[in-house]
A and B are shown apart, each in its own frame.
Chain A
Amino acid sequence: MSAAAVGLRIEDLGHHYGPNMIFEQLNLEIESGSFVSFLGASGTGKSTLLRLIANLESPTQGRVVPVGQVDRGGPVNVRVMFQEDRLLPWRTALRNVQLGLKGHEREALALLEAVGLQGRESMWPEQLSGGQRQRVALARALIHKPDWLMLDEPFGALDALTRVTAQQLLERLWLERPCTVMLVTHDVEEALVLSDRVIVLGEGGVSQDIRLDLPRPRHRGDPLIAQWKEKLLDSLIH
């Protein structure tokens, strides 16, 4: 999608927790600037895969290689968002977005505005709702202009309506700011509405790899999404 974004290649990736093999010999290529979702039943290693890609954990075997130009000469800029917002409760919304930065107040304020929180920058996390806190966490990730944005069930704890709003916001922000997004979710519809590609993890590896070439912004009512939803739910249940 954009020359600035960085893709990745997963080569023979395998991971064990003690004697438990999570997956083995996983090979995948993820295009730069694409939005990829990982679905799968619990225990198929979605979150583990995300953590390995984000380098929060080292794989037992194999490796993850960035593809494309990694500018700034440094390593790939990866930001992770979790199901819990992990905001520092003793910092205001603004100062949470500024975490790890010197200054950058104007950018932080602009991002808070972009996530719809203008006027709330001086509020404490405790004073914000769950959805608002996740939006602060999103702003905090985006201010670093990540090459890879890793989302581990970021909207899993939100109520249905708030979740839809958050998904639309995420899609819009991603369209404005090129980066490769990898989303782990339990929500089939969320994956279908947001992704260019849905990867379903099963026993020991990839069980389905679906490409969705639908215009954006996506609509939940799209018949193709409804069809895929049924098919995917079927395959996940059986």
Chain B
Amino acid sequence: MHPLSALPAVSASADAGLTPHTSRPSPPASSASAVRRARPAERRRAGSGKSFQRFLPWIAPLAILALWQAASSLNWVSPGTLPPPTSVFGAAGDLLASGELQRGIAVSLGRIAAGFGIGATLGLVLGFLVGMSKVAEGLVDRTLQMVRVVPHLALVPLMIAWFGIGEEPKIILVAMGTLFPVYLNTVNGIKNVDARLIQLGQAYGLGRWELIRDVILMGAMPSILTGIRYSLGVAWLTLVVAETINAQDGIGFIAQNAREMMRNDRVILAILIYSFAGLLADQLTRLVEARILRWHTSYRPQGDQS
């Protein structure tokens, strides 16, 4: 039997929860048939209300885009200072045609992947050790907490002095930026796993490895994923700074190079690409969260019973 069929009450309330903000006209309650006849109309009105609601968040961005275009078309601002959206799209076309844009994005993505990979892995491993063992906590935690108070972007001059304009400073900076959020949230997640569940796992004969995998890591997962999502944001932020100050390629280089050539359209394009990349990364982790934490009410879409 499908679990849905066993729970009519729950799915009904979930249905109601899907349209919480639509204005629902009260159906005429004079007779049962009148109520029944009123329903399709109600549903249609609620439906159009929903698509209108979906449109709501787009009004402000579209208005800004129109205003932006108008600002240069009507010569309120010189197009050299603030190029209109059309020039930005044009710049995107040019850079795509020459292949510079793809290369830049690929290089920047590579740096994020390497830096985030190293930082998050270190954060996870150290966080796991410190969360699990008092000895590791004694050895590692104080030092990490001390390093943590150093703003990692303050190291940019030192990194340049040591590594010049190679890949290392960017990757190290991104790794440093991502390490701490993952580390702190992993430690926190592991320490806050319900001790009664661990006791239960032991009582039910779980081995050490099973206990770690099935109870401790799963219990710490919401916190770990929060750390990962946060650190991805930090990773992009760090990359922007690192690439803008010193790079020969990547999105930041495109922006920097364009500034020197007074091509503000390309500068704005680079900024937009950074924003979209950050947004995309965030959405991606949300998808992963929704999958891994599907047992958790707040991550489960309403009405999904399985």
Interface residues of A (CB under 8 A from B): 56, 79-80, 82, 84, 86, 88-91, 99-100, 118-120, 122-127, 140, 144
- Looking across the interface, which residue of chain A has its beta carbon closest to that of B214? A88
| Beta-carbon contacts under 8 Å, B197-215 to A | 197, 199-201, 203-206, 210, 214-215
Contact in complex: B295, A89 (CB < 8 Å): yes
Contact in complex: B305, A123 (CB < 8 Å): yes
Report the Cα distance A41→B135, complex, angstroms.
42
Report whether over half of chain A's contact residues are helix, strand or loop; otherwise say mixed: loop
B46 at interface (Cβ–Cβ under 8 A)? no
**In the complex with contacts A120-B3, A123-B3, A99-B295 CB distance below 8 A:** no
B150 at interface (Cβ–Cβ under 8 A)? no
Report the Cα distance A168→B79, complex, angstroms.
81
Q: A100 to chain B: which residues have CB within 8 Å?
A: 201, 204-206, 210
| Beta-carbon contacts under 8 Å, B1-57 to A | 1-3, 5-7, 10
**A119 CB → nearest B CB, Å:** 4
Contact in complex: A84, B305 (CB < 8 Å): no
Contact in complex: A88, B218 (CB < 8 Å): yes
**In the complex with contacts A88-B214, A127-B10, A119-B305 CB distance below 8 A:** no
Q: A127 to chain B: which residues have CB within 8 Å?
A: 3, 7, 10, 305
B306's partner among A82, A84, A90, A122 (CB-CB below 8 A) is: A122
Give the B interface residue count (CB, 8 A). Answer: 30
- Looking across the interface, which residue of chain B has its beta carbon closest to that of A141? B204
Contact in complex: A90, B196 (CB < 8 Å): no
Report the Cα distance A126→B221, complex, angstroms.
17
A90's partner among B204, B210, B295 (CB-CB below 8 A) is: B295
**A72 CB → nearest B CB, Å:** 13
**B185 CB → nearest A CB, Å:** 17
Q: B199 to chain A: which residues have CB within 8 Å?
A: 56
B297 at interface (Cβ–Cβ under 8 A)? yes
Contact in complex: A86, B197 (CB < 8 Å): yes
B148 at interface (Cβ–Cβ under 8 A)? no
- Among A84, A91, A99, A125, find the residue whose CB has the most chain B CB atoms closer than 10 A: A99
**A184 CB → nearest B CB, Å:** 16
B296 at interface (Cβ–Cβ under 8 A)? yes
1/0 contact trace for B291-305 toward A, CB 8 Å? 001111100100001
Listed A/B pairs (15) with beta-carbon separation below 8 Å: A82-B196, A86-B197, A89-B296, A90-B218, A90-B221, A90-B295, A99-B201, A99-B206, A100-B206, A122-B3, A124-B294, A125-B295, A126-B296, A126-B297, A140-B204
**A97 CB → nearest B CB, Å:** 11
List 7 other contacts, CB 8 Å, given A79-B203, A88-B201, A126-B296: A82-B196, A86-B196, A99-B214, A119-B6, A120-B6, A127-B3, A127-B7
Q: A80 to chain B: which residues have CB within 8 Å?
A: 203
What 10 pairs between A and B have smallest CB-CB spacing?
A119-B1, A100-B204, A100-B205, A124-B295, A90-B295, A90-B218, A86-B200, A119-B6, A99-B204, A123-B3
Contact in complex: B3, A84 (CB < 8 Å): no
Report the Cα distance A219→B22, complex, angstroms.
52
Q: B1 to chain A: which residues have CB within 8 Å?
A: 118-119
Report the Cα distance A144→B206, complex, angstroms.
13
Contact in complex: A88, B215 (CB < 8 Å): yes
Report the Cα distance A82→B2, complex, angstroms.
30
Contact in complex: B203, A56 (CB < 8 Å): yes
**B79 CB → nearest A CB, Å:** 55
Contact in complex: A119, B3 (CB < 8 Å): yes
Report the Cα distance A86→B202, complex, angstroms.
12
- Looking across the interface, which residue of chain B has its beta carbon closest to that of A82? B196
Report the Cα distance A12→B294, complex, angstroms.
50
1/0 contact trace for B216-235 toward A, CB 8 Å? 00110100000000000000
Report the Cα distance A80→B202, complex, angstroms.
12
**In the complex with contacts A56-B203, A88-B218, A119-B1, A126-B306 CB distance below 8 A:** no
Q: A123 to chain B: which residues have CB within 8 Å?
A: 3, 305-306
Q: B296 to chain A: which residues have CB within 8 Å?
A: 89-90, 126
